[in-house]
Amino acid sequence: MRIVVCVKQVAVLGDEVEFADDALDVDPDYLDFALNEWDSYATEEALRTRESLDADDDEIVVVSVGDPRAENAIRRCLAMGADRAIRVDRSGSADPITLARLLAPVVQREAPDLVFCGVQSSDAVQAATGTALAELLGLPRVAVVTRIEWDPGGARATVHRELEGGLVDVTEVNLPALLTIQTGINQPRYATLRAIKQAEQKEIEVVSPAEGGEPAFRVCRMFVPPREEGAQMLDGGPADIARRIREIIEERLK
Amino acid sequence: MSAATMNGTLVVAEHLQGKLRDVTRELVTAARGLGGPVAIAVIAPDPSQFDVNLEGVDEIVGVPVAQQEFENDVYQQALEALIAERHPDAVLLGFTVNSMGYGPAVAAKLGLGFASDVHGLAREGDAIVATRSFYGGKVDAELEFPAGRAVLLLVRPTAFPPAENGGSAATTQFAVDVQPSRARHLEFQEAPVGDVDITTADFLLSIGRGIGEQEAIPQFEQLAEKLGAILSVSRPLVDAGWMPNARQVGQSGKTVKPKVYLALGISGAVQHLAGMKTSETIIAVNTDPEAAIFKVAHFGAVADLFDVAEELEKLS
């Protein structure tokens, strides 16, 4: 069985924000980068699927769209235990439909039995790339999966979809299929120092991006939203703050 | 009004276990804001089961299908057929788990303009401008979409006020030949019931990722007891297996509305805010002055939560 895991290196904004001169995005100097949290769960789920199905020819392939810097995130997945990685060489942020179009030919070429994506990325929160990718690949899909049970042999899965309020929708799907993986489905393993070192040596295949087509949206302005009225900030040291909190609680619980 | 806008906005009603979901009413409000006619599609074996004759709806389109509950291929085929027949210039779905399963597929297949978690919507001339957040809710962006194409948007729940009953919509039926879904709904399982009901508490002490490690939890259980609060948590603590799901506040957990919600070390992901933002008084302590929780808080403090917790403990 071949499992493709699509991962993204996400941008994390710190305490301060400045925008690029064109005001269309945050100045990259104010961003840190990390493997998307949802994608570490997706990678872990691929590893566990391989372990539970225990077939001889299993392979886990990580695919990501990004510039060379994104290889840090890719190597984290290799260090966790993925076998191989492919980076679609493209810089800058992209809308989820465009991302799906860039991922599709690369994933298609791998002819996977199973594709895992994170439900969403922490920087964009579109929750759309996986579902769009499934469509382009012609695969059945299930979004927001918190549990997977395999039929013997792994031809069919019974999965839990987590709906609002914690209600679970039990759904079945035949392979090949694409599942978007929710946080909490497992506990992602920490890579050992040795595995991290080994992952640094692994070659990451770099491919040129396909034609992404017309973007699904364009940013015309990015800005810090005004804070809603009423958020009164409590000053002073921890003791002062605690005292004020205590007063507010007492007053409001009356 | 141009030819494009004449086709108006199509809303897809969301229902679950026989009940219309609140987001449907909100989508109608969002659609009305765009101007032009508003049609609402109800995809169900008996579409008339759901009362969607809401203020501002011009047309109710019943789309009979065999499946009572949501299946992503069924909704995808029904929506694609509706778009092909009616050419709406905007399609609004809720930013919900169900819509995540088919909305982006329709947009990818038909080459539509697309964005999700949209919380602001306007029409400027012929163009639709959507507002959504990026980078953990710290910044907003206005988006524009490709000219001459329909746009499909997933709209954030609770971002728009609900439309009231009492509309005067015409009802039509739309027959569609739908193939069975490849992903098949089997059953629902209710969320497990916990030892406490956080939805009825007057005072919630809520902790999040900021507490850092599992070993810190007993300290906050103790603090909650001293303060007379019930302890609740944000999603990462449940994901980590540190606390049971029944204590979780947010979209995938419980929606709470206590008199006092004291949030320690919770940054305020959209899904968390959706579950607590109507609390009567929200007090938030976080080290990040730009944390999104401060946008909904009534009182905020930029401080180390452990320092504040220690001082609160002393006062109790």
Residue bearing tokens 């709906």: A163
Distance (Å, whole) CA B152 – CA B115: 7
| Full-model pTM | 0.93
Q: Please indicate, yes or no, if residue A246 is contained in any of the structural domains.
A: no
CA pseudo-torsion sign A143, A148, A149, A154: positive
Six-digit token pair at A50? 């391989």
DSSP structural state of residue A189: P
Instruction: For chain B, give the mean pLDDT.
Output: 94
User: What's the mean pLDDT in B172-185?
Assistant: 96
Which has the minimum average pLDDT: A85-89, A209-213, A230-234? A230-234
A208 touches chain B (CB under 8 A): no
- Smallest Cα distance from A203 to chain B, Å: 31
- Smallest Cα distance from A195 to chain B, Å: 23
**Is the per-residue pLDDT at A5 higher than 50?**
yes
Report the Cα–Cα distance between both ends of chain B, in Å, rounded.
64
* CATH number of the domain bearing residue A139: 3.40.50.620
**Is the per-residue pLDDT at B1 higher than 60?**
no
Q: Please indicate, yes or no, if residue A39 is contained in any of the structural domains.
A: yes
Domain residue ranges in chain B: 3-173, 198-315
User: What's the mean pLDDT in A70-74?
Assistant: 97
Q: Which residues of A130-157 are buried (b: 16+ CB within 10 A; e: fewer)?
A: bbbbbbbbebbbbbbbbbbeeeeebeeb
Provide, as residue numbers in chain B, all residues whose Cβ is less than 8 Å from the Cβ of A145. Answer: none
Residue A223, φ and ψ in degrees, nearest 5 = -160, 160
Six-digit token pair at A147? 């549990």
Q: Please indicate, yes or no, if residue A229 is contained in any of the structural domains.
A: no
**Is the per-residue pLDDT at A46 higher than 60?**
yes
User: What's the mean pLDDT in B54-83?
Assistant: 97
CA pseudo-torsion sign B98, B104, B110, B114: positive
**Is the per-residue pLDDT at B296 higher than 60?**
yes
A101 touches chain B (CB under 8 A): yes
Q: How far is CA B40 from the centre of its chain?
A: 18
Distance (Å, whole) CA B141 – CA B77: 31
Predicted confidence at residue B199, as pLDDT, reads 92
* Domain housing A77: 2-207
The answer for B156, left when phi > 0, alpha when psi is -120 to 50, beta otherwise, is beta
Predicted confidence at residue B59, as pLDDT, reads 97
Provide, as residue numbers in chain B, all residues whose Cβ is less than 8 Å from the Cβ of A122. Answer: 136
In chain B, which among 7-66 make CB contacts under 8 A with chain A? 16
Q: Domain total for chain A? A: 1
- Smallest Cα distance from B49 to chain A, Å: 22
Q: Please indicate, yes or no, if residue A254 is contained in any of the structural domains.
A: no
Domains B3-173 and B198-315 fall in the same CATH topology:
yes
Distance (Å, whole) CA A19 – CA B141: 12
Provide, as residue numbers in chain B, all residues whose Cβ is less than 8 Å from the Cβ of A216. Answer: 107, 112-115, 145-146
Provide, as residue numbers in chain A, all residues whose Cβ is less than 8 Å from the Cβ of B308. Answer: 238, 241-242, 245
Cβ–Cβ below 8 Å for B202 and A166 = no
pLDDT band at B7 (very low <50, low <70, confident <90, very high): confident
B122-143, pLDDT tens digit by residue?
999 889 999 999 998 889 999 9
A156-193, pLDDT tens digit by residue?
999 999 999 889 999 999 999 999 999 999 999 999 99
Q: Please indicate, yes or no, if residue A156 is contained in any of the structural domains.
A: yes
Residue bearing tokens 């710190």: A14
CA pseudo-torsion sign B48, B49, B54, B56: negative
A225-252, pLDDT tens digit by residue?
876 665 799 999 999 999 999 999 999 9
B246 CB-side CA count, 13 A: 10
Neighbouring-strand partners of residue B164: none
Q: Please indicate, yes or no, if residue A225 is contained in any of the structural domains.
A: no
Q: Please indicate, yes or no, if residue A214 is contained in any of the structural domains.
A: no
Q: Please indicate, yes or no, if residue A228 is contained in any of the structural domains.
A: no
Query: Per CATH, the architecture of B3-173 is what?
Result: 3-Layer(aba) Sandwich (3.40)
CA distances from B134 to A12, B41, B144 (A): 10, 30, 15
Greatest distance between any 2 Cα atoms in chain A: 66
The CATH label, of 3.40.50.1220, 3.30.70.360, 3.10.129.10, 3.30.70.20, for the domain at B198-315 is: 3.40.50.1220
Predicted confidence at residue A227, as pLDDT, reads 66
Cβ–Cβ below 8 Å for A252 and B252 = no
Residue bearing tokens 């692994």: A202
User: What's the mean pLDDT in B181-205?
Assistant: 91
Predicted confidence at residue A43, as pLDDT, reads 98
